[in-house]
């Protein structure tokens, strides 16, 4: 289980779909979709909703399947 919290730094592997939705429609309609080409870092911006998390990546908010995100752990010494 991925115990992600808002504000966590996450690893997004290559080949992971990222989506943006039009929140004005019911259900929300995807407006943009892309697939990461290389591993990326993102910041968790929302709690889990229907298996997805919203992350901040390259200046925009994107919805990502929570199972595709991996928390960056701190080394506390």
Q: What is the pLDDT of residues 5-34, one digit of tens each?
A: 999 999 999 999 999 988 788 887 889 999
CATH number at residue 63: 2.30.30
pLDDT of 1 higher than 50:
no
Chain-centre distance for alpha carbon 48: 10
What is the domain extent for residue 21? 9-71
Written in H, E and C, the secondary structure of 34-72 is: EECCCCEEEEECCCCECCEEEEEECCEEEEEEHHHCEEC
Residue 4 belongs to a domain: no
Contact 2, 51 (CB under 8 A): no
Residue 44 belongs to a domain: yes
pLDDT of residue 48: 85
pTM of the model: 0.85
Number of domains present in the structure of the chain: 1
């Amino acid at each position: 289980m991925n115990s992600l919290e808002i504000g966590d730094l996450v690893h997004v592997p290559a080949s992971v779909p990222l989506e943006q939705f039009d929140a004005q429609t019911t259900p929300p309609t995807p407006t943009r979709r892309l697939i990461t080409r290389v591993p990326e870092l993102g910041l968790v911006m929302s709690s889990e909703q229907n298996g997805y998390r919203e992350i901040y990546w390259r200046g925009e908010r994107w919805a990502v399947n929570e199972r595709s995100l991996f928390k960056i752990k701190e080394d506390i010494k």
